Structure 1
Amino acid sequence: MNFLLSTAFVLCWSSGFIGAKLGAGSASAVTILMWRFLPLAVILIIITAARTSWRGLAVRDVARQAVIGVLSQSGYLLTVYYAIQLGVSSGTTALIDGVQPLVAGALAGPLLRQYVSRGQWLGLCLGVSGVVIVTRADAAAGTGVAWWAYLIPFLGMLSLVAATFLEGRSHRQVAPVVAMTAHCVTSAAIFTAFAISTGAAKPPAELAFWGAIIWLVALSTFGGYGLYWIILRRSGVTRVNTLMFLMAPVTAVWGALMFDEPFGAQTVIGLVVGLAAVVIVHRGDASSTRGREPDTERVETSRPAEYRA
């Protein structure tokens, strides 16, 4: 089950880059983001209005989820889309996002008290190497782009890391559908206000735009974003973020199939290295769990599920 969830997560999260490219030719980033989240927020409100999952949640629980939504959706997506709009290539953006697992792994110990073994560190560093191999040529081609534009996706990566740890430190576990509703409603409000204030709220009439919106909602939001939080709660920060190493090579394969983008030996090598990194981290996590003392196991089990590695 974990393998199937991880595979689906990688494919769905990678689809966000493909969907962004599908819609880039017909509308600006803020227009795409507004119409990606506005209808979705309405649908989720209708679906969850009568659910009992909201019962027992305090105002601060909902507010916490709203903040997580601002960081993980609004902050992350807006910076990524804006960077690409400024001329930063998708490969360079993927490279910067690929540093996220190393940042999350370094912070998992002091913030969530999650053990990161030497084998896992080896896998994390190997994963960074795989991402660098795949995106190196694309990053080198980003000439003519202002230097500060490359800081924007870095801020987005930090925003998603902050959201991950804010969720990990939550003492009350919120149902995934409720959390997604709070996140999407918050994002819809932010992107709609931004689009209206900049005169970009009107959607284009092209079918390609609406096809991209459907793609992004179904695959990227429900699939990628939803599975991100499910895997985070089931497996912990280190595992879910290690899967992010596979996004760049998988996106490269997908882009080659759909848009005839170049797919050479570097991409193949990067994909193999990324897969090896995931295997090493997952095995390191399993061996470290088996090697724990009984007392440690009892302490670990007594924590809420989202605290476990």
Structure 2
Amino acid sequence: MTVERQWPALLMPILFVLLWSTGFIGARFGLPYAEPFTFLVIRFVLTLLLLIPLVGLMRDAWPAGRKLWGHAAISGCLVHGIYLSGVFYAIDLGMPAGLGALLVGLQPLVTAILAGPLLGEQLNKAQWAGLVLGLVGISLVLGGKLDPTSLQFDGFGWPALVCIGAALLGISCGTLYQKRYCTGMPLLGGTVVQYLGALAVTGVGSLALEQRQIEWNTTFILTLAWLVLVLSIAAILLLMTLIKNGAASRVASLFYLVPPVTALEAWWLFDEQLPSLSLLGMAIAIAGVALVVRSRQ
């Protein structure tokens, strides 16, 4: 392969991770103008309006049979519905975008723990070491944000931590569910079904818990356009290209770069500050995630 042909193969996984990191930034930009569930309902509806015609244009298949449709919808409820709802609510409650990205970035650690009882996979020594590093890192990160006198975090409270915990559990369980029940699912057609499942979750949440008030302005419209066109459409198509070219493992390896990239973006755009102890903890936690990801590969 010539150097000219190697560059796209090297840059596409990095581009995918950079695009993925902006999802947390998009939440910070858009949430002042819409409630979390309502925000996500609009995002999923617009995404589906664009994705459904793409299935036909790209001649992608739909999941075969009602059973696979059901499994895809359930995985969508977990991977997109509960995950994104938890992230958006945590950020809406004051959690810094960089910290939120780090906490949900622990997904490989939680998945490795759950894979034992659910899939019968055993942890090796490297994975155990990664889990320990991850726990130490997160303890330092949260410790750096905790006020010992009031036992409250700087800028957010325990409800935000509960929401991000629900997001982490949702994407971890959804990943394992998809691995077990959705193998062979067409990527684009399956993603449409997943978004339908996620829309059901956020739709119920919006109707039951929110006022569904939206402040339509330039910032919100541009943020919504970015999340729909760049994250939900372009990133999916980029992922399809990477999988087709056999580079999916490289994407998985680079996912642990999302938290520091998000933290840098949030510092630049919103002046989000993390104390030195939290930065050290972030580095240790990322090292633990990297160890688990590489040993699983």
Which residue, 21, 28, 37 being the options, matches 1:21? 28
* Superposition pairs of residues 76-95 of structure 1, within 5 angstroms: 76-90=83-97, 93-94=100-101
| Partner residue in 1 for 2:184 | 173
| Closer/same/farther in 2, CA of residues 137 and 247 from structure 1, 3 Å limit | farther
Q: Distance in 1 between matches of 2:282 and 2:146?
A: 17
User: Are the aligned partners of 2:36 and 2:89 in contact in 1 as well (CA < 8 Å)?
Assistant: yes
| Closer/same/farther in 2, CA of residues 55 and 70 from structure 1, 3 Å limit | closer
Q: Distance in 1 between matches of 2:159 and 2:213?
A: 29
SS across alignment from 1:169: helix
Q: Distance in 1 between matches of 2:259 and 2:62?
A: 40
5+ residue gaps, structure 2, are 1-7
| Partner residue in 2 for 1:213 | 224
User: Are the aligned partners of 1:243 and 1:278 in contact in 2 as well (CA < 8 Å)?
Assistant: no
Q: Which moved more, 1:146-155 or 1:250-259?
A: 146-155
Letter in 2 for 1:257: W
| Partner residue in 2 for 1:74 | 81
Alignment pair present for 1:255 and 2:259: no
| Closer/same/farther in 2, CA of residues 158 and 283 from structure 1, 3 Å limit | closer
| Partner residue in 2 for 1:39 | 46
Q: Distance in 1 between matches of 2:195 and 2:146?
A: 31
TM-score, length-scaled by structure 2:
0.76
Q: Distance in 2 between matches of 1:193 and 1:138?
A: 33
Which residue, 153, 178, 194 being the options, matches 1:142? 153
Q: Distance in 1 between matches of 2:233 and 2:128?
A: 30
Alignment pair present for 1:104 and 2:115: no
User: Are the aligned partners of 1:8 and 1:223 in contact in 2 as well (CA < 8 Å)?
Assistant: no
User: Are the aligned partners of 1:72 and 1:163 in contact in 2 as well (CA < 8 Å)?
Assistant: yes
User: Are the aligned partners of 2:63 and 2:189 in contact in 1 as well (CA < 8 Å)?
Assistant: no
User: Are the aligned partners of 2:78 and 2:171 in contact in 1 as well (CA < 8 Å)?
Assistant: yes
Q: CA deviation at 1:278?
A: 5.4
| Closer/same/farther in 2, CA of residues 279 and 26 from structure 1, 3 Å limit | closer
| Closer/same/farther in 2, CA of residues 82 and 59 from structure 1, 3 Å limit | same
User: Are the aligned partners of 1:131 and 1:270 in contact in 2 as well (CA < 8 Å)?
Assistant: yes
Q: Distance in 1 between matches of 2:97 and 2:294?
A: 31
| Closer/same/farther in 2, CA of residues 3 and 109 from structure 1, 3 Å limit | farther
5+ residue gaps, structure 1, are 286-308
Q: Distance in 2 between matches of 1:55 and 1:205?
A: 35
TM-score, length-scaled by structure 1:
0.73
Which residue, 183, 186, 198 being the options, matches 2:197? 186
| Fraction of identical pairs, as percent | 28
User: Are the aligned partners of 2:82 and 2:167 in contact in 1 as well (CA < 8 Å)?
Assistant: yes
Q: Distance in 1 between matches of 2:10 and 2:285?
A: 15
Letter in 2 for 1:176: L
Q: CA deviation at 1:255?
A: 1.0
| Closer/same/farther in 2, CA of residues 225 and 200 from structure 1, 3 Å limit | farther
Which residue, 133, 154, 157 being the options, matches 2:165? 154
